[in-house]
Amino acid sequence: MTVQGVLIKNKVVVAKKFDEVYKEKYYGKIIDSGDKEQLDLSLIEAMHLLNKGELILKDGKKKLKKDDAFLKFCAVDDEFPQKYTVYADLRERGYIVKSGFKFGTHFRVYSRGVNPYKEGPKHQKEHTKWVVHAVPENYTLSYQEMSRAVRLAQNIRTKMLWAVVDSENEPTYYEIVRIRP
């Protein structure tokens, strides 16, 4: 099933027929404005659906092609190329990938086949397998930045992965752990 979305600043809004994309494929976030619901997709989610042929994307009245959308998204987010590469790789491997913004990272990743929208008490909800931060291969970071990311992941009982995207656009994943002697 193909859905139609409209680009609005730094997100894509799908107003109709989004149940399959949301409930079965776990893309986006439902926004309820009282009288109607809409599905908000991140630019990365929208690009992935566009590449899979499951989204028709409009910018105003103009239909956007994949290449034009990619360039437009890169103009909005300078980290978009490496973030999209990692997102697409994880999705193609069958993982459920959601925003990691509130954890100070790019993504939180759930195991294959889980429902990240599961209702109920917190102890019954599905738990994030990893938090993932996508960086280009020439990225440098301080020990403090690395330590902060690892400690945050540890505090939420998950693992921190750094996804390094090389010049061939291939991600390599590194798990950094804190060891106490």
Q: Which of 15, 47, 77 is the last residue of a domain?
A: 77
Tokens of 155: 């505090």
Domain identity same for 49 and 84: no
Cβ neighbors of 67 (< 8 A, separation 6 or more) are none
CATH number assigned to the domain comprising residue 36: 3.40.1170.20
CATH number assigned to the domain comprising residue 122: 3.40.1350.10
pLDDT greater than 80 at residue 115: no
Tokens of 135: 């960086």
The pLDDT tens digits of the residues spanning 56-93 come to 999 989 999 999 999 999 999 999 999 999 999 999 99
Tokens of 27: 């893309």
> What is the SS3 assignment for 81?
helix
The pLDDT tens digits of the residues spanning 23-38 come to 888 899 999 877 889 9
Asked whether the beta carbons of 107 and 99 are under 8 A apart, the reply is: yes
Q: Is the pTM of this model over 0.85?
A: yes
Domains in the chain: how many in total? 2
Q: Which of 77, 107, 133 is the last residue of a domain?
A: 77
Domain identity same for 91 and 25: no
49 residue type, one letter: L
Domain identity same for 83 and 73: no
What pLDDT is recorded for position 118?
60
Say how far apart CA 6 and CA 14 lie, in whole Å: 7
**Residue 119 domain boundaries:** 78-181
Strand partners, 131: 108, 160
Say how far apart CA 136 and CA 158 lie, in whole Å: 23
Domain identity same for 72 and 46: yes
